[in-house]
Chains A and B, each alone.
Chain A
Amino acid sequence: MTSLSDTLRPSDNVIPSVPDHRGSWMPTGGMIATRFMELRRRRGLMITLVLVTVGIPTVFLAIRLLLHAIAPRSYGPAGGYDIFAGLVAGVLYVFGFIVAATLGCTAGSVDLTEGMFRHLVVTGRSRLALYLARIPAGLAIIVPLVAVGFTIVCTVCVLAAPTQLNFSGVNVPANLSSAGLQGWAGDHAEEVICNFGVNIGPATPDASTLNAVLSYVPCGGGGAFGKQPPGGQSQPQPSPAQIRYVAALIARTNYSDYARHFLAPSTSLMIKSGLWLELEAVIGFLVGLGLGSLLGQRTIAVVLMIVLEVVLTPILSKAQIPHMVNLQRAVVGLATAHLTPGGLPVLGGGGGGPGGGGGNPGLLPESTIVAACVIVAWLVGWSALGAWRMMTRDS
């Protein structure tokens, strides 16, 4: 009979182990590359990402280009500032966040749901390194996608911008100086007087002239400014020079409003908007990654992220709930809305002032520093939560 000591003597042929720093928290390039491959080869997810970040704006702009080419009188130019602002603030901002969050939730949960987590842990590699490898891999997907979609929007909005600016219902040449606008207004006095806003108070020294002109021009209000002539006499007929003068006066008071309207988005605005969109996508991805890792499954995490972006953020950014204002300020969507580049509409509608979202009276007030702190706290906090769960999870 074979004895135990014959067959089962512990083997002496120990294979020397090579130190490979697998206990280090730092992911290797290979880990990042294979994680990137794993995400990139999810066909359904990738199609969704491309459709939302690139497809929606591309199709929208293509249809506008086509319609404008077919019937230019009925359909305006495909590009321009208004289209840019609408697409950036209304589509890319919201949907970019949602798809980035979906990608993050996927990256944070699929190893667990698909049974690879055990294989990875058994390699002895630091769980923190396994978590951190997902961050550059995911960002390497979502950041370029958002950039591509945004570049298409910028290209069309610049190249297919309208050649004339429609300001208060009047086609006005773009990029005029204040003097230029006043000169143009003198030549188109009736249109200006009838359509531009009259922002001149009654104390103006030209009140009588203004009143006379407004009374004379058929669409003018008239009779409201300055002192009426004694005896209720009718207004004297204004001279053409007076009409031109009043039109120029109205144009001058409208210049600051006019100056914010552009045919095409400025380079500065495009750069700021691009960075702002990428920031939103990074936030969406990292928060989604942390939440996905924390919950260990994708669907609920994605639903929660959509609810946060589409439902909670607009409500908590606008309404002032007693005793909860500071808590509302901790909502990351409010913080990013306050960083909206000047010239873009802000969260939930409303025009952005030159200073961006911070100048919008509809938003809960928050300083830029606080907004930046909130964003950093969300990024660090959710990453820490996700990593902690990854490191402590039983599998």
Chain B
Amino acid sequence: MTQLGSTSTWDEPGSDWAVETHGLTKRFGDNVAVNGVELLVPKGCAFGYLGPNGAGKTTLIRMLLGLTHADAGTMSLLGHSVPQHRAAALSRVGAIVDEPRFHGHLTGRQNLQILAAAREPAAKGRIDSSLERVGILHRAGDKVSKYSMGMRQRLGVAACLIGDPQLLILDEPMNGLDPAGMQDMRDMILSLVEEGRTVVLSSHLLDEVERTCHAVAIVDRGNVIRQGAISDLLAGSSVAIEVECADPERARSLLDHTAFAGSVDVTQAGLRLTLPAGTGREVIAEINRILVHGGMDVYRLEEIQTSLESWFLQVTSKLGSAE
């Protein structure tokens, strides 16, 4: 399983990271919300930041954006130390933190005008193109109080885009979006990445993260417990095989007498085998041979692809059982 420091690119000193934190800590009284976080987000990718509720995801984002101070540690955005060079760092950052909220009595365009005025002069010229890109240009003249939640999400993304950001930090951007809207958002995130921007996505929709992101970090109780490319992380998880056969109990006894490592469980469908990470396809073929040579009728033998969700549950359940 890929962990922090176990991969050469992640461990490469002097790399140009979009987000880099070392020992970042934030306490609220006795509660340690963020506990010595070491996070490295490469430039030019979509990066998922995952964790259960209360894990400290939003607190970390708020520290990165200068919305709250850190108690210890260092951090940088796009190579600029924060908070020392906050203005330079945030000049190329767009972010939505929690639910995007705006002045309800103003139109979407007017809200963006306020934000553009606080950015560089060129930002004003990007308002309409940003609204068009998120698909609400036709409603730009309506008051935000009349917007749906999904439209506010889109407006939030437009607010990020007016700064022509190199780095976008989106906290639960799929909230309130219908399936078509989620598809649009996914496509937009991917197109932003294709343009060379970095998108950090905090979400509890693991399926969406898996479809959208190249890499993830898992945070739990203030600690980043895993981070790396999704493909590498999933490659490090156990291999599950489902076997549909005539007599599952006898099939299990056949497999119990063989030497391969792993566990065998009888299920309604037949057998479920859990094999160690890195198990090759030749082992699966060997299992089939054992069953057939044992006189077992095998109707179906299928390797179950590990999803990010199941992997996430594996990781977090291991953490829970370790306590």
Contact = CB atoms under 8 A, between A and B. Distances in A.
A123 B229 contact: no
A35 B114 contact: yes
Given A8-B214, A10-B16, A122 B92 contact: no
A2 B231 contact: yes
B215 A18 contact: no
A183 B10 CA distance: 104
Given A8-B42, A15-B164, A124 B91 contact: yes
A395 B105 contact: no
Given A22-B119, A122-B95, A15 B166 contact: yes
Nearest to B78: A14
Interface string A118-131: 11111111100010
B110 A126 contact: no
B100 interface: yes
Interface string B67-96: 111000000001000000011111111110
A204 interface: no
A269 to B, nearest CB: 40
B296 to A, nearest CB: 32
Contacts of B100: 115, 119
A10 B120 contact: no
Contacts of A17: 88, 91-92
Interface residues of B, number: 66
Interface residues of A, number: 46
B104 interface: yes
A121 B66 contact: yes
A22 B7 contact: no
Interface string B8-51: 11100001111000000000000000000000001111000000
A114 interface: yes
A221 B201 CA distance: 95
A114 B99 CA distance: 11
Interface of B: 2, 7-10, 15-18, 42-45, 62, 65-69, 78, 86-95, 97-106, 110-111, 113-122, 124, 159, 163-164, 166, 196, 198, 214-215, 228-229, 231-232, 235
Interface of A: 1-5, 7-15, 17-18, 20, 22-23, 28, 30-31, 33-35, 37-38, 41-43, 110, 114-116, 118-126, 130, 394-395
Given A1-B231, A115-B99, 4 more contacts: A8-B229, A11-B196, A110-B103, A122-B97
